[in-house]
Amino acid sequence: MTVISVGVTSVPEPAPEVRGLPVPPAEPRRAARMVVLGDSTAVGLGDPLPRRGGWRGVGPLVAAALGVGEEGYLNLSFTGARMKCVRIDQLPAALAHRPDVAVLVAGMNDTLRPDFDPDRIAEDLTEIVRAFAAVGTTVLPVRFHDHSKVFRLPQSLKRALSARVVELNDAIDQVVEAEGIACLDLDALPGAYDLTAWSVDRLHPSELGHRMLARGFTSLLAEAGFAVPEPVGLTCSGGVEPSTAGHLGWLVAKGVPWLWRRGREFLPYAAVIMWRSFRGHAG
């Protein structure tokens, strides 16, 4: 029951049903237009379509759950994107699409770069969120899990990556709180650390992992008042289970070169973490 303060006296406000007929609940809002922004996870890597039809992933799964048609769906993400890429390269086209809903998965690539700057990430994310708010779009970013629990690394590198993820999440949390928006917490997502939720590269979600992401996003959208006429199921269907040969082919053609590039950039930072750890033990 709502309480109205009058001077120093609190007077209970009559409930709506006392004044007349009960107030019916508001109808859920139907999303007609949706946009996806971010990196390779947003592209859909890890959830291949049959007959080499590209990637599906979290975006189409969310769109299907919301009932967003093909003409209303737009995915602007690309592999390797950082938060700055989203702001500069993806945001203008996203705003022109006038979406009801925007899903954003970006930030992990930033943690692997030598110029990692959580303050800059927070500034970029703030600009993205405010730009969407100005056109009435509900935007949902993510805060990240500890990827070192999935992607096996030496302890020193694991500590280095975990420390960066903490800094990244602190920056995201700062923006989410300041702007008053919802955020999908991947660390708290049920099953996030189960290996079945990850593709062979351990860098991208499997079909199941993408379904888990889509279910998390649609749950937040339902809480925000959007209709979810076709809830996301966790039973895999419509995608392709990559073969062992496909796994090896991806690792040789894409995975190893990617790890080599990112590793060379990340190792100087990891070396500092290792040195600090060594000095701490020596002391």
Q: What is the pLDDT of residues 5-41, one digit of tens each?
A: 333 334 444 444 444 455 555 789 999 999 999 999 9
What dihedral angle (degrees, nearest 10) is formed by the CA atoms of 124, 130, 136, 141? 40
DSSP 169-224: HHHHHHHHHHHT---EEGGGSTTTT-GGGB-TTSSSB-HHHHHHHHHHHHHHHHHT
pLDDT band at residue 195 using 50, 70 and 90 as cut-offs: confident
Point out the least confidently predicted range of 21-25, 122-126, 204-208: 21-25
3-state secondary structure (DSSP) of residue 226: strand
The pTM of the full predicted model, rounded to 2 decimals, is: 0.79
d(CA 107, CA 180): 19
Residue 283, pLDDT > 50, answer no
Mean pLDDT of the 35-48 span: 94
Please check whether residue 81 is in contact with residue 90, taking contact to mean a CB–CB distance below 8 angstroms: yes
Mean pLDDT of the 228-232 span: 97
Higher pLDDT, 275 or 36: 36
The amino acid at residue 131 is A
Question: Which pLDDT score, from 0 to 100, does residue 157 have?
Answer: 72
Residue 248, pLDDT > 70, answer no
Question: Which pLDDT score, from 0 to 100, does residue 18 have?
Answer: 41
Question: Which pLDDT score, from 0 to 100, does residue 249 have?
Answer: 55
- Give the mean pLDDT of the chain: 82
Point out the least confidently predicted range of 46-55, 139-148, 200-209: 46-55
Tokens of 59: 């975006």
Higher pLDDT, 149 or 190: 190
Question: Which pLDDT score, from 0 to 100, does residue 232 have?
Answer: 97
d(CA 176, CA 81): 20
Point out the least confidently predicted range of 24-33, 102-111, 247-256: 247-256
Residue 62, pLDDT > 80, answer yes
Higher pLDDT, 24 or 203: 203
Point out the least confidently predicted range of 104-118, 141-155, 260-274: 260-274
Higher pLDDT, 9 or 272: 272
Residue 51, pLDDT > 50, answer yes
Which residue has 């993408």 as its token pair? 210
Higher pLDDT, 250 or 91: 91
Which residues fall within 8 angstroms of residue 101, CB to CB, at 6 or more apart?
31, 33, 34, 35, 62, 66, 68, 137, 138, 139, 140, 221, 226
Question: Which pLDDT score, from 0 to 100, does residue 199 have?
Answer: 83
Question: Which pLDDT score, from 0 to 100, does residue 215 have?
Answer: 98
How distant is the alpha carbon of residue 54 from its chain centre? 20
